[in-house]
Amino acid sequence: MRNVVVTFDARPESREAILDVLSSVANVHYLTDLDSTDRSDVLSHADALISLNPAGDLAEGELDLISGAKLVQLIAAGVDFIPFQQLPDNLLVASNAGGWSEPIAEHAVAMALSAAKRLSIRQAALAKGDFNQNGLNLTLKGGVFGVVGYGGIGRATGRLMRGLGMKIHAVNRSGCTEDEVDFVGNSSSLHSVLERADVVLVSTPLTKSTEGLIGESELSAMKETAILINVARGEIIDEGALYKHLTLNPNFTACIDAWWVEPVRHGEFRMDYPFLELPNVIGSPHNSFSIPGAFFNAVGQAAENVKRLLDGGTVENIVPTGDMFR
């Protein structure tokens, strides 16, 4: 039997999800249950780890013990917070892309519909006694849904948007997909997708290549009435350029779930521009993934990827660490 080490404090439902997948192929060890001697032993014999953040989960000196492991499987989809330089060079790291996709996709569609129907703007007007029944809304049907980062979240949102009658134009690293889309291209197609899109979803990982990917030039290429949704990382969009574009284009809407400075990653929530004072901004506190059972489901998907490794299959969502920050 192989050995899988769970490095975070897993609750009973998470342990159940892991064991449902791995009990037939591996001995599963929960690091938080062990004393220092047993921790050293299981880490030294680990074939794979399931972690929130291996550098944060492990005590000082314990990273040196996992040099024999083949894979660190992360629970999160975003991995920009992982200090890759501290991990053994031969160790594969897999993100949990798609593990949180369904609730995030629903959140993105809700934001798009709210923006298209001008719900927050109409409610603010009603509060002032302005009952404008003739104010025009937008329709998504027949429009183009552009996806910047066509991974698990992008695909899940695309399926919902196609159900609303939208065409799907996708951008990913490879420029190809087996999914049913109306267009797919790589980063060289970004501008043309932005020009055609009525709604744009940013769901690409934050890397050296994607930091500041959408700036003044990209925003200027978009339609005057476009809806831009960010459920990835704030740093992918130039903060100042977006604020300026919103003030100059009142019919353009930004739906922001992922902010530039957030408590979990930075220790505080801060904006350098007063986005929430603008009527064409819809905001949420990066909680698009937060529904009952979401963590349980993500843990189960992570375990499935570890099982692929142990079965000799192809591990999904390997992180190209050379493009990461740390």
Would the pTM count as exceeding 0.75?
Answer: yes
pLDDT band at 76 (very low <50, low <70, confident <90, very high): very high
Per-residue confidence (pLDDT) for residue 323, from 0 to 100: 75
The per-residue pLDDT for range 98-124, each reduced to its tens digit, is 899 999 999 999 999 999 999 999 999
Tell me which fold the domain 101-283 belongs to.
Answer: Rossmann fold (3.40.50)
Task: For CA atoms 276, 100, 294, 102, give the dihedral sign.
Answer: positive
Nearest one of 312, 247, 240, 320 to 80, comparing CA atoms: 320
The per-residue pLDDT for range 252-271, each reduced to its tens digit, is 999 999 999 999 889 999 99
pLDDT band at 94 (very low <50, low <70, confident <90, very high): very high
Is the model more confident about 272 or about 86? 272
- Whole-number Å distance between alpha carbons of 204 and 232: 6
Share of the chain above pLDDT 70, in %: 99
User: 260 and 236 in contact (C-beta within 8 Å)?
Assistant: no
Per-residue confidence (pLDDT) for residue 326, from 0 to 100: 58
Q: Which residue bears the tokens 């993105």?
A: 108
pLDDT band at 1 (very low <50, low <70, confident <90, very high): confident
Per-residue confidence (pLDDT) for residue 321, from 0 to 100: 77
Q: Chain-wide mean pLDDT for the chain?
A: 95
The answer to which of 73-87, 174-188, 290-304 has the lowest mean pLDDT is 73-87
User: pLDDT at residue 224 above 80?
Assistant: yes
Q: Please give the backbone phi and psi of residue 136, each rounded to the nearest 5 degrees, phi first.
A: -75, 140
The per-residue pLDDT for range 142-188, each reduced to its tens digit, is 999 999 999 999 999 999 999 999 999 999 999 999 999 999 999 99
Q: Does the 2-99+293-323 domain belong in CATH 3.40.630.30?
A: no
Domain ranges of the chain: 2-99+293-323, 101-283
Share of the chain above pLDDT 90, in %: 90
- Asked if the domains 2-99+293-323 and 101-283 are classified in one and the same CATH topology, the answer is yes
Per-residue confidence (pLDDT) for residue 325, from 0 to 100: 62
User: 263 and 81 in contact (C-beta within 8 Å)?
Assistant: no
